[in-house]
Amino acid sequence: MKLYGEAMPAPNPRRVRVFLAEKGLEVPEISIGMRQGGHKSPEHLARNSLGQVPTLELDDGTTISETVAICRYFEVLHPSPPLFGVTALEQAQVEMWIRRAEFRLMVPVGMFWRHAHPLTARLLKQNVEFGESNREVVERAQLWLDKELSDGRPYLTGETYTMADITGQTTLDFADFTGLHTPAEAKHVIAWRERMAARPSASA
């Protein structure tokens, strides 16, 4: 099998790489060359009609796209260590926190990147005022997350590292790249990010 992705700072391919690293798995990754338009090439569009990465190609040619879907595929094949929870409650909490990280953090970070960052200005038509408005949205989201983490739990769902932490980690690392840094007063978020950065998988 092969994984079509992109190098740092692309957050979604990195989510899969971190997940695989936590599982102790190695899958060959082919950089698609997004800045050169490789994700919109006919070859890649045949693998993923939306022209996105990551995309996993299985040995029989079947393809799976969308980050969480790819990770769930590997979770079933390699259930240990469990990164999507084990009990019904754990699985629900992981799903809840993945969605929160995606909608409360990833969406506004993506909108800032899409509409206000100079690197994307060369590639896309921007609405800079809208893009800049997402600075405050991202900051508010991190302050909300800081309150959530103020109970002292080490990970987003509690005592266990999960896919929810991977989603939050890669999103906020990408936010740093775009210039949207964690507020200094969000001390619990900063401490959580330091714990995530200390894991060997963080280099993936």
Give tens-digit pLDDT for 128-176: 999 999 999 999 999 999 999 999 999 999 999 999 999 999 999 999 9
- What is the chain's mean pLDDT, rounded? 96
For helices 107-116 and 128-148, give the axis angle rounded to 10 degrees: 150
Q: Read off the pLDDT of each residue in 61-75 and give the average, rounded to a whole number.
A: 98
Lay out the sheet containing 63-65: strands in order across.
29-31, 2-5, 55-57, 63-65
| CATH topology assigned to domain 2-77 | Glutaredoxin (3.40.30)
Question: What letter does residue 64 receive in the DSSP assignment?
Answer: E
Q: What is residue 131's predicted lDDT score, i.e. its pLDDT?
A: 95
Backbone φ and ψ for 83, nearest 5 degrees, come out as: -115, 0
Q: What is residue 122's predicted lDDT score, i.e. its pLDDT?
A: 80
Question: Given a cut of 90, is residue 204 above it in pLDDT?
Answer: yes
Question: Given a cut of 90, is residue 19 above it in pLDDT?
Answer: yes
Short-list 23, 44, 24, CA closest to 33: 44
Task: Report long-range pairs for 84-93 (Cβ below 8 Å, ≥24 apart).
Answer: 84/162, 84/163, 85/157, 85/160, 85/162, 90/157, 90/160, 93/157, 93/158, 93/164
Question: What letter does residue 87 receive in the DSSP assignment?
Answer: S
Integer-rounded Cα Rg, in Å, for the chain is: 17
* Rounded Cα distance, 198 and 204, in Å: 12
Question: Given a cut of 90, is residue 183 above it in pLDDT?
Answer: yes
Q: What is residue 164's predicted lDDT score, i.e. its pLDDT?
A: 98
Q: What is residue 60's predicted lDDT score, i.e. its pLDDT?
A: 97
Q: Encoding tokens for residue 96?
A: 């809840």
Q: What is the CATH number of domain 88-203?
A: 1.20.1050.10
- Please determine whether the domains at 2-77 and 88-203 fall in the same fold group of CATH: no
Q: Which residues of 4-16 are buried (b: 16+ CB within 10 A; e: fewer)?
A: bbbeebbbbbbbb
Q: Read off the pLDDT of each residue in 50-64 and give the average, rounded to a whole number.
A: 97
Query: How far is Cα of residue 55 from the mean position of the Cα atoms in its chain?
Result: 14
Domain locations in the chain as residue ranges = 2-77, 88-203
For helices 67-77 and 11-23, give the axis angle rounded to 10 degrees: 10
